[in-house]
Amino acid sequence: FAEQHSDVVLEGRTRWTKSCSHGRESEGYACGMWALLHICSLGVAERHKAVLGGMERATAAHAALTVRNYIQHFFRYVCGHQCQSDFMVMYDKCGFHHCKRFKQITKKNTKPKEESWKEFALWLHEVHNDVTLRLISAEAALHGRRKLTFEEQEAAIWPSTHACRLCYDDKGKWNRNNVFNYLRTEYWPGGIHNWRFVVLDKNDYEYVSPSTFRVEPWTLIRAGMIVIAAFLVADIARQRYLLRTGR
């Protein structure tokens, strides 16, 4: 796929928006890829309520795993093979505590907390900054420098204090809510949306053998209630018919 679209991947004649090219024509593939990932992470928080069917795929953990697999195949052209490999190792070792952060375990018949849907976007923001610092540090090492200065690290962190002062607390740490709001402003469209439901067919995703198939008790109760209600409606209709016709 990447080879077939080399003009885009290898910075050929493709022209990017100024927000990604920063005034340099034919540059911006890496920025465009990161933007795509941030949009996907925000989509988990913004659109999870619009998913019907295979709800096991509408989780922060599943979305993150999908991105991980995407990076495995396409990110070599973004930051190099070593960077791609570092990301894979980081993810597979639960980097930035995602194995804990993406757990949305709840009590039976209850929904995950609304805040849990934001974790993927916040986690990806931290990962993006870490990758940026790694790349800058590697470039500095090539020029014989051992370590980045504090000022260089501050300049590399995104968003900067100039771009989003509220993203930092009084101690210089991230304010999670404000960081998410900043990401949402940057990557998610405002205004009125054409709200459409996404239907995921579980049968196309995961095969469940008859021996392991199990019907939940609550499903049986609901089915029984529907049958009883149907009989009651039919009986009421029959009694009204008798009163009206005498037969």
For 106-150, write each residue's pLDDT tens digit: 666 677 888 999 999 999 999 999 999 988 888 888 878 778 888
Does one domain contain both 66 and 176? Answer: yes
Inform me whether the pLDDT recorded for 177 exceeds 60.
yes
Does one domain contain both 235 and 161? Answer: no
Does one domain contain both 35 and 124? Answer: yes
Does one domain contain both 201 and 243? Answer: no
Does one domain contain both 158 and 231? Answer: no
Does one domain contain both 124 and 224? Answer: no
Identify whether the C-beta of residue 178 lies closer than 8 Å to the C-beta of residue 163. Answer: no
User: pLDDT at position 89, please?
Assistant: 93
Between these two residues, 15 and 34, which has the higher pLDDT value?
34
Domain extent for 191? 3-207
How many residues does this entry show for the chain? Answer: 247
Does one domain contain both 242 and 159? Answer: no
Does one domain contain both 235 and 127? Answer: no
pLDDT tens digit sequence for 41-91: 999 999 888 888 777 778 999 999 999 998 888 777 667 788 888 899 999
Specify which of 74-78, 150-154, 238-242 reaches the highest per-range mean pLDDT: 150-154
SS3 state at 96: helix
State how far Cα 1 lies from the chain centre. Answer: 23
Distant-in-sequence, close-in-space partners of 140: CB < 8 Å, separation ≥ 6: 146, 147, 148, 152
Give the helix, strand, coil percentages of the chain, each rounded to 5.
65, 5, 35
Counted domains in the chain: 2
pTM: 0.72
| Alpha carbon distance, N-terminus to C-terminus of the chain | 74
pLDDT tier, 104 (very low <50, low <70, confident <90, very high otherwise): confident
DSSP letter string, 213-232: ----HHHHHHHHHHHHHHHH
User: pLDDT at position 209, please?
Assistant: 39
Does one domain contain both 176 and 239? Answer: no
Does one domain contain both 121 and 238? Answer: no
Question: Using CA atoms, how far apart are residues 77 and 59, in angstroms rounded to an integer?
Answer: 28
Inform me whether the pLDDT recorded for 198 exceeds 80.
no
Does one domain contain both 187 and 238? Answer: no
SS3 state at 65: helix
